[in-house]
């Protein structure tokens, strides 16, 4: 398998350690990984804001850079969702359709494709609150949405975290509530976004979480802002960092 590593632009700019952890984790699991240096953005911010035509150049560059890979893996549910389901500003050539169909989010790649049974090097003796992002839950099927009350509960992210020694997942009141980030929503509706972030962080805090973990660093970026403003004794961490052996 020729695997291409897709590191979203905001992770590259603000949380490069998450990209490094993703690469190291995949290599620990025996994957041969290549990281193209030319991609910039997948086009999601522009498309989400209704400026779809403005996303065409970045979408075309994304396809060009990843068209020769068997699988493309990225540590961001929202970005992967955009590539798979909304990469529509460009002509749907065979190359574009190939890249869209072969792009996988890290959690689903580990659990569904590689079928990883354990992470013997990983130990994380902390109380952790799990944030499954809206896009990961309802767009990629990472977990059962709470509104589907008659279906059995599952969470792919939780299944992976259960394989980490010493990690204790705390129960919160609203497991799949939105954190309020919502891409450009947090700019256009700042007050609503902030209130949703405060509510989400307080849910984790009152249940004793030391860390908030997610497969979406964009959500964690938003909640980190709330945590820092309130000076709460919590940290945020991407699941790739935990599965790779913990924060540096």
- Can you list the pairs that 47-55 forms with residues at least 24 positions away whose Cβ atoms lie under 8 Å? 47/82, 47/86, 47/88, 47/89, 48/82, 48/183, 48/184, 49/183, 49/184, 52/88, 52/89, 53/89, 54/89, 55/89
Rounded CA-CA distance 185/40 in Å is 22
Report pTM.
Answer: 0.94
pLDDT of residue 101: 96
pLDDT in tens, 68-127: 999 999 999 999 999 999 999 999 999 999 999 999 999 999 999 999 999 999 999 999
| CATH T-level assignment (fold) for domain 127-243 | Rossmann fold (3.40.50)
Exposed/middle/buried for residue 138 (C-beta within 10 Å: 0-12, 13-18, 19+): middle
Q: Are 108 and 143 in contact (CB under 8 A)?
A: no
pLDDT of 231 over the 60 cut? yes
pLDDT of residue 43: 86
pLDDT of residue 129: 98
pLDDT of residue 164: 97
Phi/psi of residue 17, each to 5°?
-65, -25
Domain boundaries, the chain: 3-113, 127-243
Q: Which residue has the higher pLDDT, 208 or 46?
A: 208
Say what angle helices 77-86 and 94-102 make with each other, to 10 degrees: 150
Q: Which two tokens stand for residue 213?
A: 């973990």
pLDDT of residue 62: 96
pLDDT of residue 49: 80
Mean pLDDT over 164-193 rounds to: 87
pLDDT in tens, 131-151: 999 999 999 999 999 888 888
pLDDT band per the 50, 70, 90 thresholds, residue 248? low
Rounded CA-CA distance 101/40 in Å is 20
pLDDT band per the 50, 70, 90 thresholds, residue 50? confident
* Rounded to 5°, angle at Cα 62 from 213 and 110: 35
What does pLDDT average to over the chain?
93
């Amino acid at each position: 398998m020729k695997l291409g590593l897709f590191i979203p632009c905001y992770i590259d700019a603000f949380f490069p350690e998450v990209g490094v952890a993703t690469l190291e984790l995949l290599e620990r699991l025996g994957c041969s990984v290549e990281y193209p240096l030319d991609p910039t953005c997948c086009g999601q911010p522009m498309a989400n804001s209704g400026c779809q035509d403005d996303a065409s150049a970045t979408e075309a560059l994304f396809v060009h850079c990843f068209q020769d890979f068997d699988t493309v893996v990225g540590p961001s549910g929202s970005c992967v969702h955009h590539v798979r389901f909304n990469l529509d500003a460009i002509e749907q050539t065979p190359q574009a359709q190939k890249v869209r169909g072969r792009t996988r989010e890290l959690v689903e790649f580990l659990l569904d494709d590689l079928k990883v049974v354990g992470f013997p090097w990983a130990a994380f003796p902390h109380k952790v609150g799990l944030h499954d992002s809206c896009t990961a839950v309802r767009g990629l099927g990472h977990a059962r949405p709470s509104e589907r009350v008659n279906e059995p509960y599952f969470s792919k992210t939780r299944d992976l975290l259960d394989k980490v020694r010493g990690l204790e997942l705390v129960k919160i009141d609203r497991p799949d509530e939105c954190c309020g980030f919502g891409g450009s929503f947090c700019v256009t509706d700042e007050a609503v976004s902030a209130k949703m972030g405060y509510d989400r962080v307080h849910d984790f805090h009152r249940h004793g979480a030391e860390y908030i973990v997610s497969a979406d660093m964009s959500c964690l970026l938003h909640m980190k802002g709330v945590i820092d403003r309130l000076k709460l004794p919590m940290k945020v961490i991407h699941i790739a960092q935990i599965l790779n052996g913990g924060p540096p």
